[in-house]
Structure 1
Amino acid sequence: MLPQNCAISGRAVNKSKAKREITLTIGIFFDGTGNNAPNTERALRSCGAGYHDLNFSGAESMLAKCVRDHFGFSGAEAVSYNTYFTNIYWLSRLYQQGLTTEADEAQSVVYIEGIGTEIDQPDNLVGLGLGLAETGIIAKTDKAVSKIARHVQDMLRVFQNQQQDCVFVVTTVRFDLFGFSRGGAAARHFANRVHARDSEIIKAINQGMAHSACVGTPVVKNRFIGLFDTVAAVGIPTHHLNRHVTDTGDVNLSLATRVAERVFQIAAAHECRFNFALNSVGPDWPELLLPGAHSDIGGGYLPVVTENVFLSRPETETVPFDRPDVQTRVYQKAFAQLSILTASPAMAALARVNNISAETWYDGRMPLDRYGQMQKRCFAALTLRNRVVKNRWSTVALRVMRDAALEAGVRFNAIDPTLPETALPDELVSLSAKAVVMGKAVRQGQSSQAFSLQEMDMLATKYIHCSAHWNAIDTDADGRILGGAFPSELIGFISRPDEQWRRTVYHMDARRR
């Protein structure tokens, strides 16, 4: 139970003082897997790179080299240093803090860095890959709990400084929860801890109120849960660490009808990676399917990236050296994959407006065949080359989520139209307004006008990233493709697409769609 009577420095509350009812609200923002705003900020500062310094196609390799030189981190250890700020970070910056104008409510913000990361530390491969251990999903909810007491205490201090001759009746302690990717899973798990009156959360609230003048037993509840494309992808040992299953172990993703006043999720319509199955909130809660890949919705892409990727699995065939590559079995197989891409809802627009080619390359360092003839090892795959993509579409998802939260009573500051990181390009202004209307319609159980073919083609040309692929293309100094084939699909191709380039969706009832 929460304290019936609280005291200041051990002194009993003066019952003759006027009583004033107040509400304490804590906004907790769980960032995505491999996303860590302090690490991103540290990397950019050390590299002397601002937004405009990253607004060119070579920024990705420049930042990676800088992080390696300054911090000694590369590969999986450097994920959070080489990514950009997410919508979770921007929302945490916009979340109003302090008292309302009516002075009966206070808001405070807690930012929790993404799964697999810690501030000023190399990233953790177990956390990144499996969502487990000391940087895993549940551990991040524990970290959020550890911050509650201080934020409760700080908010009460603000009230007391404003009106010292008053006894405060804390009627409600409530949470606004936001999460992206596995951070969405953390937000959902934390919400269930609140709903179940988790003893550690109650203890933390007690500690925060222990030295304040207050009376009553506040209600503890969740007001709003805002999710960007929840992907739990928990590697459960009993499933041989396979993340592509409905079972999330001890991570509780269920969202009962009374777990919060409002729940809203934005899901990525163009995400289809095998390892990124969507944990939907449907059919119980509203969910908007918005154009874009996973991080087009939650954010985190650098301002500009250049994509050079395989869109079919590179395969090999040993053939006579003089055989034309286009006559090989692997070339014909790669070319046939194009029809699968164009039939996929997640890839059709990208395939329609981008140049996708069936390419071949070979390794001539082969022994003679049994007849003494020269051979070559021929490779073939579909490729997407030199595609420049911007990160501006995620700012639309930011606006859609902010609108949903405002509708639920959450207090946010306005988005600064002059801030380049969150400003809308002119060509996205009308689409952003349409997306906000679509979000409202979904929350009201109504239909709305979809994006036109022309609008989708524009997004697919400039803004939607191709997240599902069979690895980045590696080339030599002359631009010739090197290798690309791996014997293990599981280990060699972590960004590979799901079956037929169609995303797996797990609904709240654990059914797969």
Structure 2
Amino acid sequence: MPSSTETGGPDLRIGIFFDGTGNHKDLRATAARPTNIAALYDLYATDGQSVFAAYVPGIGVYDSAGNLRGDPLSLATGLGKSGGYARMADAAEGLLAVFQRVWPFPPARIVLDVFGFSRGAALARHFVNAVLLAGLPDPRRPMDASAVPRPIRPNLRVIRNQGYGRLDCPLEIGFLGLFDTVGSFGLPGNADEGDFDVTLGPEIVARTLHLTAANEYRRNFPLRSIYDGAPNTGNEAACPGAHGDVGGGYAPPGAANPEHILVGAAEVSARRGGGSTVYVFPDTPPELEALFRRILAPWHGRSPAALAREALDKHGLVLRRAPQAASEGDEILRVRFFVPKRTRETLGLVPLRCMRDSAARHGVPFRELDPEREGEASRVAAARAGDPLAFWRDYIHLSAVADTRYSRCFSLSADGRVILRPGLTEADLPKTRHIADGIFLVDGPAASGRRVIFDNGRKK
């Protein structure tokens, strides 16, 4: 094999794809659409000679026994046995596997195209910095890990306690593609990324596209921008949707998995002797208050299940009830009214197409999208140009969870169904969904109602 200073082979191009937290391209047990990282990995036109690709699973996918399922500690903190350090080691092993297949080695030049989503985008940024500062591992030069210089940790020349010399070969970052960078290593929602260096230099920003989520509001999902207050030169763009709408990976909507928007609450005092009293919570618009009273008035003597079916069939409302108290033989129940929102999973195809096309213009060897995905992306883009309320209803997921009532966002149609109030602006639309168990800690919204944004190198 030639020495580390000899180069005679062709250029070597490698795509590195860091998936988002909890995501893996081989997790097919659910009907969820593959993430955009998995889709781009499949589109990368490898040839087994000079173009290769390496896929890095999302943080937290493997548990401590190595099974293909979630590891709670790593999912929460980005650390642990399937955290950021492990994923960087996976990336380094992917590179070594490519190097073992290349002959002659080293090549004349190595070009790296790097992509990431969520915490995978943070790892992609660290990966680029690690390559530029510490270099690539030379598989012909194993060495004691303690002897490897570490200007950045983790780096690619120390792989699970095995060290390697630095590969002497011209190196270029061809393109960096990021979907909604969220780091939060350690304490969720924090700005301190620990050992991971996600700050990008201007020469890398110039060949980066960062697509961010315009409708993400969770406090534990702060955005890490690629700018430090400098003017946006077009390399960072906000896309409609929540975090998973931009990075992909949602399941198709169905009767079993709608997002529930809380639109009202009432109490019913059902007297054992017959009749009932309905109290509707304040700040409910008159037309909805009247509807809630009509639905609940016959509670005594009617099957609650039958009333719930009627509310859904006639008015598009989901009823949930819970016994509250009993007084002198009266049954008191609290009833909540929800509008089910069945959001489609295809919005992510638009940022997928945008990223693929931008990268291709920078020389990244991507194949074209297949006609089905190309056609669906065009249909979604056309819907965005149409009715904004219908687009929000059909395509924008609600990732944040809270106990917020949105009765003033809704009204009644001519046939008595609860619909979005005509004329709502985007700022007025619901920002959270409700879950039955009422646990809002992990996915609760930011206190300000707006997403927290961290600059490229410091908090904004």
Partner of 1:57: none
Partner of 2:236: 287
Kept in 2: contact 1:270–1:293 (CA 8 A)? yes
Counterpart pick for 2:248 among 299, 308, 323: 299
Counterpart pick for 1:364 among 313, 323, 347: 323
Kept in 2: contact 1:3–1:217 (CA 8 A)? no
Q: For 1:194 and 1:458, how far apart are their aligned partners in 2?
A: 45
Secondary structure, aligned partner of 1:274 = coil
Partner of 1:217: 168
Q: For 1:182 and 1:408, how far apart are their aligned partners in 2?
A: 24
Counterpart pick for 1:383 among 338, 345, 349: 338
Counterpart pick for 1:232 among 158, 183, 189: 183
Partner of 1:186: 123
1:5 shift after superposition:
4.5
Q: For 2:46 and 2:360, how far apart are their aligned partners in 1?
A: 15
Partner of 1:247: 192
1:72-83 alignment runs, 5 A limit? 83=32
After superposition, the Cα gap between the structure-2 partners of 1:416 and 1:483, relative to the gap in structure 1 and judged at 3 Å, is closer
Secondary structure, aligned partner of 2:325 = coil
Secondary structure, aligned partner of 2:108 = strand
1:303-342 alignment runs, 5 A limit? 303-306=252-255, 307-311=257-261, 323-326=277-280, 331-332=281-282
Q: When you count helix as a share of all residues, which structure comes out higher?
A: 1
After superposition, the Cα gap between the structure-2 partners of 1:125 and 1:407, relative to the gap in structure 1 and judged at 3 Å, is same
Secondary structure, aligned partner of 1:253 = coil
Gaps of 5+ in 1: 7-18, 44-62, 64-81, 100-104, 161-167, 208-215, 339-354, 433-450, 472-481
Q: For 1:395 and 1:112, how far apart are their aligned partners in 2?
A: 21
Counterpart pick for 2:40 among 74, 91, 99: 91
Partner of 2:217: 272
Name the aligned partner's letter for residue 134 of structure 1. K
Partner of 1:136: 83
- What is the number of residues matched between the two proteins? 369
Partner of 1:68: none
Partner of 1:153: 100
Residues 45-90 of structure 1: per-residue CA shift (max 9 Å, x gap): xxxxxxxxxxxxxxxxxx5xxxxxxxxxxxxxxxxxx643111111
TM-score w.r.t. length of structure 2: 0.69
- Does 2:349 correspond to 1:395? yes
1:485 shift after superposition:
6.3
1:183 shift after superposition:
0.9
Partner of 1:262: 207
Q: For 1:427 and 1:172, how far apart are their aligned partners in 2?
A: 38
After superposition, the Cα gap between the structure-2 partners of 1:21 and 1:455, relative to the gap in structure 1 and judged at 3 Å, is farther
Name the aligned partner's letter for residue 116 of structure 1. G
Kept in 2: contact 1:311–1:469 (CA 8 A)? no
Name the aligned partner's letter for residue 428 of structure 1. R
Counterpart pick for 2:108 among 153, 157, 171: 171
Name the aligned partner's letter for residue 467 of structure 1. S
Name the aligned partner's letter for residue 109 of structure 1. A
- Does 2:53 correspond to 1:109? yes
Q: For 1:267 and 1:22, how far apart are their aligned partners in 2?
A: 36
Kept in 2: contact 1:308–1:383 (CA 8 A)? no
Kept in 2: contact 1:312–1:383 (CA 8 A)? yes
Name the aligned partner's letter for residue 363 of structure 1. A
1:506 shift after superposition:
1.4
- Aligned residues with identical type, % of pairs: 28
Gaps of 5+ in 2: 143-166, 289-313, 404-433
1:410 shift after superposition:
1.0
Secondary structure, aligned partner of 1:264 = strand
Residues 273-302 of structure 1: per-residue CA shift (max 9 Å, x gap): 222221121256611111112111111012
1:405 shift after superposition:
0.8
Residues 375-428 of structure 1: per-residue CA shift (max 9 Å, x gap): 635355x7331x3222222111111001111122211111121xx4x3423862
Structure 1 window deviating more from structure 2 (317-326 vs 187-196): it is: 317-326
1:493 shift after superposition:
4.1
Secondary structure, aligned partner of 1:499 = coil
Partner of 2:137: 202
Q: For 2:78 and 2:3, how far apart are their aligned partners in 1?
A: 36
TM-score w.r.t. length of structure 1: 0.62
- Does 2:408 correspond to 1:468? no
Secondary structure, aligned partner of 1:413 = coil
Name the aligned partner's letter for residue 409 of structure 1. G
Kept in 2: contact 1:192–1:259 (CA 8 A)? no
Q: For 1:134 and 1:196, how far apart are their aligned partners in 2?
A: 25
